Structure 1
Amino acid sequence: MKILFTFNKTIQIRMILNFISITGSAMVMPYAVVYFTNKIGAALTTITILVIGILSLLGYLIGGRFTDRIGRKKVILVSEVVSGICFLIISYFDSFDYFYALPIIIAFMIMYIFESAANPAYSALIIDASDEKNRSVIYTCFMWISNIAFAVGSVLGGFYFEKYSAVLFFIVGVSSILSAICTYYFIVDMYVNKIATKTSKENSIINKAPFSISATFASRIFLFLCVGILLLNLLSEQFPNYLSIRVVSNYPIGNISGFNMIGYLHLVDTLITVFAVGVILKVTTKLSEKGKLMIGLALFSLGYICLSYFIQPYFLLLGMILISIGRLIYYPTLQSITAKVIPEEMRGSHLSILGLLSAMGGMLSSLFILGMEYISESSITIIFICIGICIILNYYSAYKFIN
């Protein structure tokens, strides 16, 4: 896409590093649960995942605060170096025939803390280096690149993780450290540069002001964004949780097994995201920002309702098509709106809160796995409909305060 070459140099470099990072993570992280289950058993794996999830939430908060205090670049550098070292430690201990559970688990925990801490810095860096005119397109390109990278990494991991996990962990560790080196030399932290131009008094206020939850949530529009991101992730994380279990338990249908159907749905999602992004951009160009947001959210919600109600392959594929198209429409628009309403000097703190709520939404989605034992599928569909309506009404109400 020619448009990629029109972006700020920082954006271009971040896209390249983002591709490398996601490719590396996709080679190992989707298989980490199976990896731990085979080594330490399901019970200890579950406890490990819960602890890692809690530490990740803590990482978001710490990263957001330091992103505003010391700048985006420093947080990214520290996070990528520490994450890289952790992957190298995991690779080293994984290379032995005996499984050294304690150092590997500790390394995973530290790595997740620092990776979570870097997320607000990554987001703030992109916002700093973009403007309202091209921000929506930039987020679309990032989503496009991320999906390609995830597909490539997943395929490589599927072929090589079982026999060469130590090698893959080593590759991810080295790539993380190389990413930090590239960030150090080639990426400009525009936020730090802006701080440097202020008076020493203003600089002191920005960097030494105590973190205030009340100040962070003072904006009514930000409260709407918080509720929205929680509900969106509560819905979007249903596919790897409740919906996948539902598909597997209701199949085979004909010659298609449940796992085959899940694979087809993932394939459709990837193909649409990778190949239809240009068409979606062109078709929605003339729509207003509000129009794109509402249409995208409606299609996205309708897709999940289809997945929760129907079980026939064609309807499931239709649901995934609606989800993919809806996400391509609403996601870059929502990210652009979020960037516009968050104050520059508190971007890290605000983005960390949104990231934390996003993770919480994913964690809450797992409750539907327990609920399916007591609630009928049709009742869960009704819950999905209510969540979809709440999402649309929430962002419709939020838009009144944007201007």
Structure 2
Amino acid sequence: MFFKSLNPTIQIRLFLLFISTMSTMTVLPYLIIYLSDQVGNVIAGILFLAVMFVNVLGSILGGYLSDRIGRKKIILLSEFIIFIGFIGAAFANSPGGTFPYVTFIFFLFIQFSTGAANPVYQALIIDISTPEERRVVYTYSYWIRNLGIAIGSLIGAFLFFDYIFLLFLGVSVIALCTFFITFLFIQETYTPVKEKKEEKKHMFFLMLRSYTKVLSHRFFTVFSIASLLIVSVEEQLTNYIGVRITNVINEPVQLVSFLSLEINGFNLLGILKTENTILVVVFTMLITQVIRTWNDRYVLLIGLLLFFSGYTIISISTTPYILIIAMLIASIGEMMYIPVKETMLSKMVPDHARSTYMALYSITVILGVSTAGIFMIISSWLPPLALTSLIGFMGAVCIVLFFNLTRIEKSIIKQNKKAM
């Protein structure tokens, strides 16, 4: 299926996904480094956790309201607040002065609104696509998002600190364009059904009981914990690891001995992020073809071993070419384990409770991202070797958990299906 054959609203949404991802990735990966430089590692870690917390609240509220008042209203309100937030962040970092705490307040609004819009955008795509189209839509979405991340991260790596005011201003313009394009060209895709008064009164307790029931399934809970460890380690690149590389390589060094190109830690961070994204986009299908006859269990475990080995090296090394090779190893591991892990997740989720399971899994991912703030806090007290050891330990625990899960996968899933 070609792009032109998709619903026009989906085409517009994918276009907006690209420009918004590209623009926000010029600033978001480097926000924690900016805050660390302005207010210190401990405070930066605390502020990062606060930003992630409001993102979760936004997701909960946005998803709830979307099913009750419609998609378009939530999207428009969210995009307008994001526009205001980036305008405010720009003037909080203008030539007239830098105000990190004011920037943080504006980012609370930005991340709350981003969290509110994300589940609504996902619901909008489902509303207007058929089951046969969704795989194609999500494939386009995956590639477009990664392309936007690659371009945006590279631009931000070289321009963020020197042109922060203009970057924030540019992102706000993109948010405003997204607002107007949505207003003019995207139609409402969902008409809410009026709730009964009894359902409104007991909705919180019904939701709580549903999530409690999901957590009672051991396989899914252990799977979520293992996935949390993966996300936690991966997120360190633009947080603790990123700050460490930036601080240690604060003067330009040669990228490789046979090139005259010199970079600092900040540039190197952007290169590593871009390398990972480009490798994933370009070589995923090739890696999948090579390992197609391998046993899924071995593919998963070998992929996780490569992934965690690469990130453990990245967390301690300061040599540019070693860091680039380590990212290559981690990226190959990522391309190996992700398809198998996602297949495991789809098998364990019962059809009649899919949304509940996936919502809880999404929260697990957000919690994994939030641990980056914890690493920032403890990095002020622990030496780099201790944190590298912790990352290695998290990887070992994750591999052991998945080793056990793959060993008992069939029996546990069968029990869970019967229990539902």
Q: Smaller-chain TM-score range?
A: 0.7 to 0.9
5+ residue gaps, structure 2: none
Letter in 2 for 1:386: V
Matched, 1:359 2:354: no
Corresponding residue to 1:303 among 300, 307, 315: 307
**SS of alignment partner, residue 210 of structure 1:** helix
Residue 275 of structure 2: which of 268, 276, 285 is its match? Answer: 268
Q: Which residue of 1 aligns with 2:213?
A: 218
What does residue range 4-403 of structure 1 map to in structure 2 within 5 Å?
A: 4-37=3-36, 44-95=43-94, 97-100=96-99, 103-130=102-129, 133=132, 135-188=134-187, 190=189, 192-193=190-191, 209-210=203-204, 212-219=207-214, 220=217, 223=221, 226-240=224-238, 259=265, 265-280=272-287, 295-296=299-300, 298-308=302-312, 319-328=326-335, 330-331=337-338, 341=349, 347=355, 351-364=358-371, 366-367=374-375, 369=379, 375=386, 381-391=392-402, 393-394=404-405, 400=413
Q: CA RMSD in A?
A: 4.5
SS at match of 2:25: helix
1:307–1:35 distance in 2 versus 1, CA, 3 Å: closer
Provide closer, same or farther for how the CA distance between residues 65 and 325 of structure 1 changes in structure 2, counting only shifts above 3 A.
farther
Q: CA deviation at 1:97?
A: 0.9
Q: TM-score, normalised by structure 1?
A: 0.75
Asked whether the 8 Å contact 2:18–2:148 carries over to 1, the reply is yes
Letter in 1 for 2:50: V
3-state SS of paired residue (2:204): coil
Using the TM superposition, give the Cα deviation of residue 258 of structure 1 relative to its aligned residue in structure 2, in angstroms.
9.1
The superposition leaves residues 191-236 of structure 1 with CA deviations (integer Å, 9 ceiling, x where unpaired) of: x25x56xxx6789959983362221342437545643442331232
Shift of 1:46: 4.3
Unmatched tracts of structure 1, length 5 or more: none
1:89 and 1:104 in contact (8 A); partners too: yes
Rounded Cα–Cα distance in structure 2 between residues aligned with 1:49 and 1:231: 18
How far residue 318 of structure 1 moved from its aligned partner, in angstroms, is 5.5
The 1:319/1:98 distance shift into structure 2, 3 A limit, reads closer
The alignment covers a number of residue pairs equal to: 393
Instruction: Flag the 1:287–1:217 CA change in 2: closer, same or farther, 3 A.
Output: farther
Q: Which amino acid aligns with 2:55?
A: S
Any conservation in 2 of the 1:139–1:335 contact (CA below 8 Å)? no
Amino acid at match of 1:123: Q
Alignment check: 8 A CA contact 1:60 1:356 kept: no
Q: CA contact under 8 A between 1:69 and 1:207: conserved in structure 2? A: no
- In the alignment, the residues of structure 2 paired with residue 395 and residue 274 of structure 1 have an alpha-carbon distance, to the nearest angstrom, of 27
Shift of residue 19, structure 1, vs aligned partner = 0.9
Deviation at 1:55, TM superposition (A): 2.3
Q: TM-score, normalised by structure 2?
A: 0.72
Separation in 1 of the partners of 2:298 and 2:241?
A: 24
Asked whether the 8 Å contact 1:76–1:122 carries over to 2, the reply is yes
Deviation at 1:385, TM superposition (A): 2.0
* Post-superposition offset of 1:269: 1.5
